[in-house]
Amino acid sequence: MKTEKDFTVMGRAMATVSGFDRVYHTLEQQVTLRGQAKSTFENYIHRIAQVSLHFNRLPEEVSPDELNEYLASLAMSAISPSRSAFKHSVYGLRYYYRYVGLPDRAIKLPSLKKDAKLPTILNKSELRLLFKAPALLKHRVLLMLIYSAGLRSTEAINLRISDIDFERRTIHIRRSKYNKDRMIPLSEYMAVGLAKYLALERPLTWLFNGKALGSPYSAKAISWVMREAVKTAGIAKDVTVHTLRHSYATHLIEDGLNIVTVKDLLGHSKIETTMVYLHIAQCPLVKAHSPLDTLYPEACKHK
């Protein structure tokens, strides 16, 4: 969602940088025609607007040396470990240069070093404490559902009642990241809690209603529920709502589910993204052996 600051940056770029308004509207059309995520476009165009305002001209009119100096200043001044301003500027410029037919400029931009920090997860004891913490059933069900299905916050708030199939025990995630749909198993335990919640709360259309009539719950509200539950549960770890998704993936791997299936359940586009959980999961070591012994296990027992 655009903030007042975003509108100011965009408005200034359209008013002062020659050609920016044309670029904005053309890129917006391309995103719509390709079915790409609107949020991605808004993030990219905001960064392109900032670059254009800094130089008072469009990025293709900026020399590589000038651009590298600008990006270097972003990288050095970024306080957060993710260096999001730098990263999104690079991503946005790559996207832009491909659009204007300058792929060589895109390739020459600095490569982004992967963040080697492993995600934090909650253990099963902490999760039990967390799910008991909220006073409202709605909040308990919300947090439990996010963990039980490995949902992103946006996926949870966009769930409709019709997306829950109690008979087939499935959850239909529609048009999520990368504009992909996916089906996730509905936990037997979760189905009982959801049925109780629906009978008590009687939400309309959206599985979790927001304050305004006919609106879904907000991501900000979910974050508040999570913070309050963590505080009440006395959990000392620095966690967010997304920690529940990390915990889901890690626990599935520890339960023996193969990494490819976990990738599909999470809706990842690349297996490399999912493989980070292999570094966290505590899986029992299997003694080296020949597969012939597991082919004929009974013969080995009588040895």
Residue 242 annotated to the active site: yes
Query: Where are the alpha helices (H) located in 179-296, listed in sequence order?
Result: 188-201, 219-233, 242-254, 259-266, 271-274, 291-295
What Å distances lie between residue 269 and 122, 146, 274, CA to CA? 25, 20, 9
Residue 268 annotated to the active site: yes
What Å distances lie between residue 197 and 145, 161, 200, 203, 266, CA to CA? 12, 11, 5, 9, 25
* Cβ–Cβ < 8 Å for 26, 100: no
Which among 54, 87, 177, 182 is annotated as catalytic? 177
Taking the C-alpha atoms of residue 137 and residue 115, their distance in angstroms, rounded to an integer, is 37
Which residues, 6 or more positions from 209, have their beta carbon under 8 angstroms from its beta carbon?
201, 203, 215, 216, 217
In three-state secondary structure terms, 81 is coil
Which residues, 6 or more positions from 64, have their beta carbon under 8 angstroms from its beta carbon?
105, 108
Which among 152, 246, 251, 263 is annotated as catalytic? 152
Q: Strand 182-185's sheet: what is its strand order?
A: 164-165, 170-173, 182-185
Residue 279 annotated to the active site: no
Residue 46 annotated to the active site: no
What Å distances lie between residue 227 and 44, 53, 140, 299, CA to CA? 30, 37, 13, 55
* Cβ–Cβ < 8 Å for 225, 244: no
Which among 46, 88, 245, 246 is annotated as catalytic? 245
The two counts, helices (H) then strands (E), for the chain are: 16, 3
Q: What would the two tokens of residue 75 be?
A: 């990288």
Taking the C-alpha atoms of residue 33 and residue 158, their distance in angstroms, rounded to an integer, is 23
> Catalytic residue numbers?
152, 177, 242, 245, 268, 277
